[in-house]
Structure 1
Amino acid sequence: MSTIATVATLIATRTGRAEPIATVRHHHLADRPLVLVPLTLAGEACAPLAAVVGTDPDTPILLTVRQPRDRAERFAFAEGLAARLLPLIDTSLDDTETYRVGRGKDADERTRALAPPQLLVPNGEGIAYIRRLGRLTRLRAVDGPFAVDPAVPALGKWLTFFADRAEFPGSSSLLAMTRLLTAHWTTGQSSSEDSHLASLVAWIDPPDGTTGADAARAAEDPGRWPPAGPATDPGFDETLHELMSRRDEAADDRVREALGRRIDAELRTQLMPTWRLMWQGIRLLRELPEGARVAERWAYDRRILSDYAAYLAEDGRPQARRDQAVGAARKLARMEDALTRYEAERAYDDPLVMADHELTGRAFTGRIVARDLDRTIPGARKGLRRPTVVLRTDERPRLPVGTAVKSPVRAGQKAEILDVAERDGGYETVIQLNGGFGAGQGPPPPGTVPDEGEELTYTSLDPSTLVSRLPAEEDTPWTHGGPPQPYEPTPEDAEEIWE
């Protein structure tokens, strides 16, 4: 937990209401996200029991499995979910924009969807469920003795895609509501209690006349606020088991259907409170303005989804059951890069996040008290112009001399710390600007060099930094096995037991 979050937690404990730890929203929220609340059968990791899904809070769609141990019903559930997700993806690919990759003559024009689906689930367990469901459906055969509808493996490929994207920090393709809310607010309860969506929302948006702490205690009643899934409440499991047993033993079809409708009704009571909480959370998040760099990250999400759709159209092979060594290493490198960029971009977008980096010594804020616009340093042929500014602070910056720094208000301007000296009860830091002030030997254009009296933050965080640089996949050296071979599904893959 960060220092700012720790202080906010203490304040929330005293006031009884969640405290904000962000001034902007750091993830994209689609106009019509696809909300999915899944339930699984107790005792089994991925046996689908029910789900409520939809893009409109007033029109939830209930999918149920009256006997989760029945293979046909499980795949009928997958077909029902595919009927809600796949058309959204197909429709979004009709409305695209053109963008350029590369520079100059080598630039390549590509297209990406303008508004692809965004999936929202209640919690991290919901993301894990989507990953498991994708793994158990994407490799199924569409012909032969155990053939399934073609929509089933298509759904599995896309669910695996969304689950993979959820691992990348900053991605908004698949998000868990509890993680979204705790990234922007801190409550007075423990992190494990924050994983309970009803308690978390109660702290952030308690009913009139009550505190968040009191509302959270009331939300612990599973009768009023069932678990947000995929696991069910043990008390409900007993009711469900009785109904399923009676339905299995019924000899009359009308009785079986009546009991099936009763099961559907009971499942709806478990899902609808979480469905309402999901849309309440969306409303709370929409009240925060979107961070400046969120749109850029969402554009990358749109690009990745469009590229994957093109791959499916051209090739169509599913993701492998297990990553090959080269693919796993490349994925890990991309995740590390995404984390580095996301941490820096959050700080650049949000002064409250940057304040936490100031407390840890990765940033400092002061006022410009002097500048030298005509300063030059020796170059290969002639002097290079390198202006300096002097930043005065009350405390000594903890970044050492020689550290490369940037200011969020001039993110494209590279700089470095030349000197730090104590003067008149404060500290003056000399910062050399290494670009971003115009070309040539004339005076820098107005605004490119900070003015005296301007208050600025400088930080070692840099959104453009790459942590890992790996060769292209086709250039993998022989010492590492050479270029990996494309994955080829086998008949055994399609026979994996659904459990």
Structure 2
Amino acid sequence: MSTLVALARAQAFAAGRAQPITTVRHLHLHERPLVLIPLAMAGEANAPLAAMLGTSRDDPRLLVVGQPRNRDERFTFTADLAGEIVPYLDSFAAGATEAVPVDRGRDVRHRFVDAPQVWVPNPGGVDFLRLLGRSTRFRRTDGDNPVPPSVPLLGQWLTFLTSAAEVPGSQLLVNTVQALGTHWATGQSAAEDNHLGSLFAWITSGAAAAREAERGPVAGPATDPDFDNKVLAPLIAASSPDLTGAVRELLLPTWERMWASLDLLRALPPGARVGSRWDSDRDAYSAFVAHLIEDGTPQPRRDGAVAAAARLQRLENAAARYAVQRAFDDPLVMAEHRLTGAAFGGVVTLAKADRIDDSGKRPVLRPRIMVATTETVRVEPGASLTSPARPAQKAKVISVTPTATGFDVVLELSGGMGRKLVAEPGSVPAVGEQLLLTTLSEAYRPGAAFPDPADTPWTHGGPPGVS
């Protein structure tokens, strides 16, 4: 937890109401999301009990397993669930595509202009879908105990979505409590924030309403023990048709809160870099659709050593990129980096936009500016800084001089000014401009070179050693 978030939590506790910790929305909101609330039976490992889902707030679809311990009924439920989810996921692959230049414009690839977005209430919902995907994507459609073709296809889709959910900044599968918690801080613990009803009440009504919401129905996938003992167990034992009504009554409050949460988030303006992350999600969706068409094999049960290492590096790079993008988009997020000395703000007091460096083989444009700041500067000469206003431009620290009110920082600029020896208008900060500078950078991080799996030792999946 960062210092400013901890302060916001203390303020929320004192005020009895959640406090905003961002100025913009840091995720894409689809115009037609699929809201999905899975429910599992207590005491049974990922045994589905019900699911409420749909793309319209006024038209929830409810699927219920009358006897969760009955294997046939569970797979009938899964087939029905596939019949609701897979057409939604497939529908975006029937839409238009757009050309994306690659290899510095020498080639193009195509991606779909839109992609699906699935919302679940909490991290438990993501875990439920991950386990459901793992248990269904290898199911056979022939032989003993066959299942409809839509069942293993659903498993592949769920595995794809839950894998995407592990990527920081991905917006294909979103859990609602995480989305809300990214934008508001409450006066309760992080564990209590996983209760959607309580978290939502902190944001919309305050602490008193949150305490009341804690006694309300859960948001799945686990059920409340009192509900299990007093309501669910007798209805299942009697195979009562009233089971559907009881489950609907249990899930409807969560359904309404999820759609209301979308409304809360939609009221925030989107961050400038949200669109680029959604472009990456559309790339991932397009690639997976191509895999289903060209290959169609299910994802492996577990990654090999090389694939796992490569995936870990991708996740680390995505986490670093997401943190930088959030800071560049949002002054409140950047404020945390200013506290730690990773960023500072000031005003340009001197600027020489036409400075030419002719010490090398050919002359290059290297303007210099001086920035006066009252903040503590914790960077050394030679450090490379970036301004969120000009992310393609690098600012090399030439000197840092203490003054009576703070520091004067002399910077040498490169990049983002055109290819001539004259800077393009506006590309060099002018005297009097307020400037924010940071050690954070959106620069591309090249991936490491991993060996071919066949070149790894047998302990890591390669060929066995020869004695």
The alignment's TM-score, normalised by the length of structure 1, stands at: 0.89
Q: Is the 8 A contact 1:401 1:419 kept in 2?
A: yes
For residue 219 of structure 1, what is the amino acid of its counterpart?
A: A
- Secondary structure, counterpart of 2:256 in structure 1: helix
Separation in structure 2 between the aligned mates of residue 432 and residue 52 of structure 1, nearest angstrom:
58
**Which runs of structure 2 are paired with 1:458-497 in the superposition (5 Å)?**
458-466=437-445, 469-471=447-449, 478-479=455-456
Aligned ranges 1:220-259 → 2 under 5 Å: 220-221=214-215, 225-238=216-229, 239-247=231-239, 259=240
Q: 1:430 aligns with which of 410, 420, 428?
A: 410
Q: Does 1:274 align with 2:251?
A: no
Distance in 2, Cα, partners of 1:430 & 1:476: 49
User: In 2, Cα distance between the equivalents of 1:14 and 1:347?
Assistant: 27
Question: Is 2:452 the counterpart of 1:453?
Answer: no
Listed as ranges, the gaps of 5+ residues in structure 1 are 207-211, 248-258, 486-499
One-letter amino acid matched to 1:216: A
Specify the code of the residue in structure 2 equivalent to 1:324: G
- Give the structure 2 partner of residue 303 of structure 1: 283
* Contact 1:40-1:230 within 8 A present in 2 as well: yes
Aligned to 1:464, the other structure's residue is in SS state: coil
1:82 is matched by which residue type in structure 2? Answer: A
1:483 deviates by: 12
Query: Partner residue of 2:304?
Result: 324
Measured in 1, the distance between the counterparts of 2:72 and 2:164 equals 30
Distance 2:291 2:217 in 1: 40
Aligned residue for 2:37, secondary structure, equals strand
Asked whether the 8 Å contact 1:96–1:111 carries over to 2, the reply is no
Cα displacement (A) at 1:379:
3.9
The letter of the residue matching 1:64 is: V
Q: How does 1:390-405 map to 2 (within 5 A)?
A: 390-405=370-385
For the 8 Å contact 1:340–1:465, the answer to whether it is kept is no
Inter-partner Cα distance in structure 2 for 1:169 and 1:359 = 23
Letter in 1 for 2:360: A
Alignment of 1:129-148 (within 5 A): 129-148=128-147
* Worse overlay, 430-439 or 315-324: 430-439
Cα deviation for residue 110 of structure 1 reads 2.5
Q: Select the residue among 209, 215, 236 that pairs with 1:215.
A: 209
Structure 2 CA distance, aligned partners of 1:457 and 1:171? 27
User: Following the alignment from structure 1 to structure 2, what is the Cα–Cα distance between the partners of residues 339 and 130?
Assistant: 23
Q: Note if contact 1:437-1:445 (Cα within 8 Å) is conserved in structure 2.
A: yes
Counterpart of 1:323, as a letter, is D
416-425 vs 346-355, greater mean Cα deviation: 416-425
Per the alignment, residue 51 of structure 2 pairs with: 51
1:404 Cα deviation from its structure 2 partner: 1.2
Counterparts of residues 2-401 of structure 1 (less than 5 Å): 2-104=2-104, 106-107=106-107, 109-206=108-205, 212-221=206-215, 225-238=216-229, 239-247=231-239, 259=240, 261-401=241-381
Q: Which residue number corresponds to residue 491 of structure 1?
A: none
Q: Would the aligned equivalents of 2:400 and 2:409 in 1 still touch at CA under 8 Å?
A: yes
Contact 2:344 2:377 in 1 (8 A): yes
Letter in 1 for 2:232: L
| Partner Cα separation in structure 1 for residue 453 and residue 102 of structure 2 | 23
- Deviation at residue 481 of structure 1 after TM alignment: 6.9
- Name structure 2 gaps, 5 residues minimum: 463-467
Contact 2:98–2:112 (Cα < 8 Å) also in 1: no
Alignment: residue pair count? 461
How big is the shift at 1:430?
A: 0.9
Over the residues paired in the alignment, what is the CA RMSD in angstroms? 1.8
Cα deviations by residue, 1:43-62 (Å, 9 ceiling, x for unpaired): 12310000100011100000
% identical aligned pairs: 45
Contact 1:121 1:175 in 2 (8 A): yes
Local SS of the residue matching 2:282: helix
- The aligned amino acid for 2:428 is V
**CA 1:114/1:439 → structure 2, altered by over 3 Å: closer, same or farther?**
closer
2-side partners of 1:394 and 1:346: how far apart? 24
Instruction: Report the Cα offset of residue 344 of structure 1.
Output: 0.5
| Cα displacement (A) at 1:377 | 3.2
Q: Which amino acid aligns with 1:454?
A: E
- State the one-letter code of the partner of 1:310: A
Q: Shift of the alpha carbon at 1:464?
A: 2.2
* SS at structure 2 position matched to 1:302: helix
Looking at structure 2, the residues matched to 273 and 452 of structure 1 have their Cα atoms a distance apart, in angstroms, of 56
Q: State how far apart, in whole Å, the 2-side matches of 1:445 and 1:434 are.
A: 12
Whether the 8 Å CA contact 1:52–1:271 is kept in 2: the answer is yes
* In 2, Cα distance between equivalents of 1:350 and 1:21: 10
Asked whether the 8 Å contact 2:341–2:376 carries over to 1, the reply is no
Amino acid at match of 1:125: G
1:369 alignment partner AA:
T
1:419 corresponding residue in structure 2:
399
Q: Which region of structure 1 is more displaced relative to structure 2, 455-464 or 277-286?
A: 455-464
SS in 2 for 1:93: helix
Write out per-residue CA displacement over residues 1-40 of structure 1, whole angstroms, 9 at most, x where no aligned residue: 1122112112111211111111111111100110000110
Partner of 1:30, secondary structure, is: coil
| Range that drifts further, 421-430 or 194-203 | 421-430
